[in-house]
Amino acid sequence: MNKKRILFVCLGNICRSPAAEGIFQHLVNQQQLTDDFIIDSAAIGPWHVGDLPDARMRRCGTRHGYDFSTRARQLTSDDFARFDYIIGMDHDNLKAIKAKARSAEDESKILLMSDFLRHHNNATIPDPYYGDERDFELVIELLEDSCESLLKQLTTEL
């Protein structure tokens, strides 16, 4: 069986996308599906390459039982060959991801994270970077909702 390969993308890969990666990995581990998925995250830009996620996001994740300890990296055109799904957190992310796509097949892999929300009406997963603790908590809540829905959808395809 082929593994589902998922890449979560946000602006700097220090808040939303590493949180999505950590939450999705946690859910996969809970359901004993680790052999079925490859999960990663990346940034649109190079600003934080090599950095840990923002300390506020790591603290928030720890409070919820998640591990957000991956190092930031930048999205590359090669990621379209390596991943089945490339999931952006907001419309600006989608636009930047599409700019790196080399073909219609590449573009077909691009999805918006908030499209998987089932219990919230948010149009996107907002960037908490310039916000306070409540903004980080909201992102965790939205990502839990969307990751659960995404995993459910993908496991029906396995």
Give the residue numbers annotated as catalytic, written as ranges. 10, 16, 127
* Residue-level length of the chain: 158
Low-confidence ranges of the chain (pLDDT < 50): none
Please report the pLDDT score of residue 122 as a whole number: 87
Is residue 8 within 8 A of residue 67, CB to CB? The reply is no
Query: Can you tell me whether residue 89 is helix, strand or coil?
Result: coil
Please report the pLDDT score of residue 158 as a whole number: 61
Query: CA of 148: how far to CAs of 35, 40, 109, 117, in Å?
Result: 18, 17, 19, 9
Domains and CATH numbers, the chain: 4-157 (3.40.50.2300)
Please report the pLDDT score of residue 33 as a whole number: 97
Kindly report the pTM of this predicted structure.
0.97
Q: Give me 15's structure tokens.
A: 């808040």
Please report the pLDDT score of residue 1 as a whole number: 62
Q: Give me 17's structure tokens.
A: 């996308």
What span, in angstroms and rounded, lies between the C-alpha atoms of 83 and 142? 23
Q: Give me 54's structure tokens.
A: 């923002």
What is the edge-to-edge ordering of all strands in the sheet holding 37-43?
A: 37-43, 4-10, 85-88, 110-112
Please report the pLDDT score of residue 112 as a whole number: 98
